[in-house]
Amino acid sequence: MRTQAQAVVIGGGVIGCSILYHLAKLGWTDVVLLERDELTSGSTWHAAANIHGLHDSTNISRLQHYTMNLYKELEAETGQSCGVFQPGSLYLAQTEAREHQLRLQEAKARRYGMNFHEVSRDEAERLHPLVNFDGIRCIMFEPDGGNVDPSGVTNAYAVGARQRGAEIHRFTPVTGTEAQPDGTWIVRTTKGDIRTPWVINAAGLWGREVAAMAGIELPLVPTEHQYFVTETIAEIAAMDRRLPSVADRDGEYYLRQEGKGLLVGAYERDMRFWAEDGTPQGFGHELFADDLERIEDNMMRAIERVPAVGEAGIKRVINGPMIWSPDSNVLFGPVPELTGYFCCNGIIPGFSQNGGMGKMAAEWMVEGEPSLDLFNWDMARYGHWAGKTFTKARVGDQYAHRFSIHFPNEERTAGRPVRTRPAYELQKSIGGQFGLNYGWEHPLWFAAPGEPDHETYGFDRQNWWEPVGREARMLRENAGIIDISNFAKYSVTGPGAESWLNALFANRMPKTVGRSCLTPLIGKRGGIAGDFTVTRLADEEFLIIGSGAAERFHQRFFRQIPLPEDTRFSSRTEAMCGFNVAGPKSRDLIQRLTNASLATEDFPFMRSKRITVGGIDCVALRVSFTGDLGWELHCEAGDQVALYQSLLRQAGDMGAGPVGSRALMALRIEKGYGSWSREYSPEWWPQESGLAGLIKMDKDFLNKDAYAALAGIAPREKLVVLEVDADTADASGGEPIFLPDGTPVGQVTSGAFGYGVGKSLALGYVRADVATGGQAVQVAVLGRPHTSRILTEPPFDPKGVKLRS
């Protein structure tokens, strides 16, 4: 066994083997995989191993398609069968919402060249004569869908990796991982130690135990999961081809051919957790006792749809464990607080995602960053707040609703609240409807008396659409008070603060006390890793405001520049709260509560001051994400309620009041402002998103070389504002954009109704050669083409007159 390696993968399930293979493929051939038992000894061996391309996230869908297309290549390359059957998958829509979901997926497939299209009932009956299609309103077909052999795939990766020089050691449990002072790791095994710069935790069911060896706590918990296989079905035995699988997600089961029978699996409402306090070390190839009663409802729906299931006897039941994260997406990526420790844990559709996951993991380690925006997978989307109680509640909910549609603005309630601000109860008492943002409860909108006090969900306009409109118009006409406590806030103090920030961020830091600047943070590939507002509060004190959801994500970048001596960096997100008071009357509103002059000559745009508002010390910044005249007032968390009450009291007789973050999102779209993880992500280049003007090439900053290499290249796509002719639904993000002749040219990143301007709007990236004002396009809202046009300028205050007034 090697005593040194470029990377050590722990776990020989399908995921560990795929990562090993992809690392070797990208040129790291000096890599080792350690497996405590035989390969496939966790969830892998007993998986139903269905493969699908459908996912609500476009990038995840692209990676699933990569995976589906890889199997045949892998077989050809290694000579090892993956047991691939690709007779296709039929997706059934019983409801209008499901039809919208499938049509949207079909439109995305057209944009990315993925195989997914509608078929008629006649065609579907020909493809699968055993299905009763009554009551189905739309049928899609994915020709590459099907299933694989779990151990065949795992072994094919192993063969491919070994052929490139990787080592695999079975029956070699890892007993410890120890971080060394030089940034490398020692991986201890029963057969000796290996020193390595990269440890990869792909220990599946034992992901928590392996993580704990490095002091990491992962929000994961296993559940049981069952499927059964029928005896031979005569009609299938008589066929000379394989039947497509059936994705009847409204029926909440999956179904496919297995041998000459059918396999049916279900995510039942009455689910069961397993090994909550830790996966037993000795657990191996065991299964749990069958409990088909639990999935009876799902089975009955399957029988109704495919009567042959009920006519055949049951040959075999598999009830095995799988391990889940709170949102059922993988916990992926380098642990932000550590050097050289990569997690890939909590994968549910492992056979749809293993290839994409291996590829992205390898890119991240070998090249420094994945080529796609993976924030939906990034483990940094959870922080210390995602404890055991939260995780269990969310996993229970995820499991039970595995096949439910998750709508664009959906806010699941399980496990909440987990983090609240002092004003939470007050906000609740005035009708606050809350969403979850990096664990924080934050008000989305406020129900006025007589308005619904809960949200409905759907792809089209819902019951919150009017109340949110009322708030947005109130702000545009008078003023609104938006809780922005969930923004991330950092303080950097000390003699080296300015130089550290200059070394990190791409813009030049303000030289004068009281000035602010906007700045991008540049990623390893030259794209946008973040966007921040930096304010110089004193000679040696800066306040940085960024995306709250990306707080842990950004630690990876902040850690790359060593802090100079006597300089301190601290997160102030928990300690500080804030309100954005914006709208034409915002000045009058705040002025009633402070002696400081808010007149433009005393307090211009992009300036800051420490002022007292209603007797409370605040850092006031004259900026507003609404695009309107406005200030951000940041105070100590303990003062939040008093500040809020003072502001609300004054608002009362000015036609102003509380506004939630959903209206804020609509308002910033009217102004064409981008937002982190939507318009700004490492996938986009500054010259594409319009941020290049904020980059100062006459100084050094993080990843300057990568940006310099891109800076001379023409933009591939450009960020634009679109007006969409839509009257029952607005774009929400992810909708593809086509030219009128059907040529795909881009994708929506955010969408909303612009209540202040009376138009349905979207932001999105469009191929640079057609990204010009007036260009006619089609946006696939609800998956159907909607006539739209690219606007020459944002519809609200394009010259920034109100902002500076």
Ligand X SMILES: Cc1cc2nc3c(=O)[nH]c(=O)nc-3n(C[C@H](O)[C@H](O)[C@H](O)COP(=O)(O)OP(=O)(O)OC[C@H]3O[C@@H](n4cnc5c(N)ncnc54)[C@H](O)[C@@H]3O)c2cc1C
Q: Which residues bind ligand X (CB under 6 A)?
A: 10-16, 34-37, 41-44, 46-50, 173-174, 202-206, 210, 225, 227, 318, 320-322, 347-352
Instruction: Tell me whether residue 210 or residue 616 sits nearer to ligand X (CB atom).
Output: 210
Under 8 Å between Cβ of 257 and 90: no
- Residue 344: CB minimum distance to ligand X, A: 7
The answer to whether the beta carbons of residues 489 and 541 sit under 8 Å apart is no
- CB 174 → ligand X: shortest distance, Å? 4
Residue of 413, 376, 411 whose CA lies nearest to 393:
413
Q: Which is nearer to ligand X, 342 or 351 (CB)?
A: 351
Q: Which is nearer to ligand X, 140 or 211 (CB)?
A: 211
Q: Which is nearer to ligand X, 349 or 751 (CB)?
A: 349
> Torsions phi, psi of 690, nearest 5?
80, 15
Residue placing its CB nearer to ligand X in the complex, 89 or 677: 89
Nearest approach, Cβ of 497 to ligand X (angstroms)? 43
Rounded least distance, CB 222 to ligand X, Å: 9
CA distances from 683 to 348, 679, 734 (A): 25, 10, 15
- Closer CB to ligand X, residue 43 or residue 230? 43
Using CA atoms, how far apart are residues 797 and 804, in angstroms rounded to an integer? Answer: 10
Q: Which is nearer to ligand X, 322 or 335 (CB)?
A: 322
CB of 467 to ligand X, least distance (A): 40
For ligand X, the closer CB: 116 or 440:
116
Nearer to ligand X (CB atom), residue 358 or residue 751: 358
CB of 445 to ligand X, least distance (A): 37
Q: Within 10 A of 115 (CB to CB), how many other CB atoms are there? A: 15
Q: What is the 3-state secondary structure (H, E, C) of 304-329?
A: HHCCHHHHCCEEEEEEEEEEECCCCC
- Centre a 10 Å sphere on the Cβ of residue 518 and count the other Cβ atoms it contains: 15
Q: Minimal distance in Å, beta carbon 720 to ligand X?
A: 37
Between CA 391 and CA 415 the distance in angstroms is 7
Residues across the chain: 805
Q: Which residue has the tokens 């038992």?
A: 37
**How far apart, in whole angstroms, are the C-alpha atoms of residue 91 and residue 136?**
10
Nearest distance, CB of residue 153 and ligand X, angstroms: 10
User: Which residue lies nearer to ligand X by CB, 201 or 433?
Assistant: 201
- Look at residues 659, 683, 668 and name the one whose alpha carbon lies nearest to residue 765: 683
Cα–Cα dist 84/148, whole Å: 4
| Cβ atoms of 9 and 32 closer than 8 Å | yes
Q: How far is the CB of 684 from ligand X (least distance, A)?
A: 30
Q: What contacts 30, CB < 8 A, 6 or more positions away?
A: 2, 4, 5, 6, 165
Residue 248: CB minimum distance to ligand X, A: 15
Q: Are strands 185-189 and 174-179 parallel, antiparallel or unpaired?
A: antiparallel
Min. distance of Cβ 296 from ligand X in angstroms?
Answer: 17
Looking at the Cβ atoms of 153 and 589, the one nearer to ligand X is 153
Q: Cβ of residue 707: shortest distance to ligand X, in angstroms?
A: 35
HSE-up of residue 570 (Cα within 13 Å, Cβ side) = 10
Closest separation in Å from C-beta 246 to ligand X: 13
Three-class DSSP category at 667: helix
Indicate the residue among 205 and 475 with the shorter CB distance to ligand X.
205
Smallest distance, ligand X to C-beta of residue 31, A? 15
What phi and psi values does residue 652 have, to the nearest 5 degrees? Answer: -50, -50
CA proximity to 407, closest of 443, 461, 328: 461
Q: Tell the smallest beta-carbon distance from residue 801 to ligand X (Å).
A: 54
Q: How far apart are CA 761 and CA 722, in angstroms?
A: 6
CA-angle at 662, arms to 657 and 667, nearest 5°: 80
The closest alpha carbon to 305, from 125, 453, 462, 557, belongs to 125
Pick the closer one to ligand X by CB: 11 or 336: 11
What CA–CA distance (Å, rounded) separates 146 from 72? Answer: 13
- 488 — phi, psi (to 5°)? -80, 140
Closest CA to 462 of 497, 489, 426, 433: 433
**169/622 with CB nearer ligand X:** 169
Provide the H-helix boundaries in 430-561.
465-477, 497-504, 551-558
Shortest Cβ 59–ligand X spacing (Å): 17
Could you tell me which of 21, 68, 13 has the C-alpha nearest to residue 44? Answer: 13
- Structure tokens, 612: 């007292």
Name the residue nearer to ligand X (CB basis): 44 or 437: 44
Q: In this complex, which beta carbon is closest to ligand X, that of residue 353 or of residue 462?
A: 353
CB burial readout 360-378, b (16+ within 10 A) else e: bbbbbbbeebbebbbbbbb
User: What is the chain's Cα-based Rg?
Assistant: 27
**Structure tokens that stand for 477 in this block:** 């006409």
Instruction: Name the residue nearer to ligand X (CB basis): 119 or 318.
Output: 318
Residue 569: partners with Cβ closer than 8 Å, 6 or more residues away = 490, 491, 492, 500, 558, 563
Q: What is the closest distance, in whole angstroms, from the C-beta atom of residue 46 to ligand X in the complex?
A: 5
For ligand X, the closer of residues 225 and 489 by Cβ is 225
Q: Shortest distance, CB of residue 272 to ligand X, whole angstroms?
A: 12
CA–CA distance, 653 with 647 (Å, rounded to integer): 11
* Side chain identity at residue 706, one-letter code: A
